Amino acid sequence: MGLTRRSGGSRAMQEGFLKRQYSGADYVVALAGNPNTGKSTVFNALTGLNQHTGNWPGKTVLRAEGRYIHRGMIFKLVDLPGTYSLMANSPEEQVARDYLCFGKPDATVVVADATCLERNLNLVLQVLEITTRVVVCVNLVDEARRKKIKIDFQLLAAELGVPVVPAAARHRHGLDKLVEVVSEMAAGRITTRPVAIRYGEEIEESVRKLEPKIKKLVGEEFNSRWLALRLLDKDRAVLAALENWLAGRNSLAAGMEGVILG
Q: Which of residues 26-65 bind another protein (CB under 8 A)?
A: 35-36, 60-62
User: At closest approach, how far in Å is the CB of 185 from another protein?
Assistant: 20
User: At closest approach, how far in Å is the CB of 72 from another protein?
Assistant: 29
Stretch 139-158 residues interacting with another protein (CB under 8 A): 143, 146-153, 155-156
Spell 103-141 as b/e; 16+ CB within 10 A means b.
Answer: eebbbbbbbbbbbbbeebbebbbbbbbbbbbbbbbbbbb
Name which position in 50, 90, 132, 192 contacts another protein (CB under 8 A).
90
Q: How far from 224 is each of 91, 227, 237, 243, CA to CA, in Å? A: 23, 5, 16, 15
C-alpha angle 92-95-100 in degrees, rounded to nearest 5: 130
User: At closest approach, how far in Å is the CB of 194 from another protein?
Assistant: 11
User: At closest approach, how far in Å is the CB of 74 from another protein?
Assistant: 25
What is the C-alpha separation between 185 and 208, in angstroms, rounded? 29
User: At closest approach, how far in Å is the CB of 97 from another protein?
Assistant: 13
**Is the Cβ–Cβ distance between 94 and 53 less than 8 Å?**
no
Considering beta carbons, is residue 16 or 188 the nearer one to another protein? 16
Stretch 111-140 residues interacting with another protein (CB under 8 A): 115, 117-119, 121-122, 124-126
Q: Which helix (H) or strand (E) holds 109?
A: strand 107-113
Name which position in 15, 180, 184, 221 contacts another protein (CB under 8 A).
15
Name which position in 10, 71, 191, 262 contacts another protein (CB under 8 A).
10
What is the C-alpha separation between 122 and 110, in angstroms, rounded? 11
Stretch 199-258 residues interacting with another protein (CB under 8 A): 199-200, 202-203, 206, 209-210, 213-214, 216-217, 229, 231-234, 239, 242-243, 246-247, 249-251, 253-254
Q: What is the largest CA-CA distance in the chain?
A: 70
Considering beta carbons, is residue 4 or 191 the nearer one to another protein? 4
4 touches another protein (CB under 8 A): yes
CA dihedral of residues 148, 82, 23, 259 (deg, nearest 10): 120
What is the C-alpha separation between 162 and 17, in angstroms, rounded? 37
Name residues whose C-beta falls within 8 Å of residue 167's C-beta, 6 or more positions apart in sequence: 42, 137, 138, 139, 141, 173, 174, 175, 177, 178
Considering beta carbons, is residue 20 or 208 the nearer one to another protein? 208
193 touches another protein (CB under 8 A): no
Per DSSP, what are the bridge partners of residue 30? 78, 108
Considering beta carbons, is residue 31 or 144 the nearer one to another protein? 144
User: At closest approach, how far in Å is the CB of 126 from another protein?
Assistant: 6
Considering beta carbons, is residue 21 or 250 the nearer one to another protein? 250
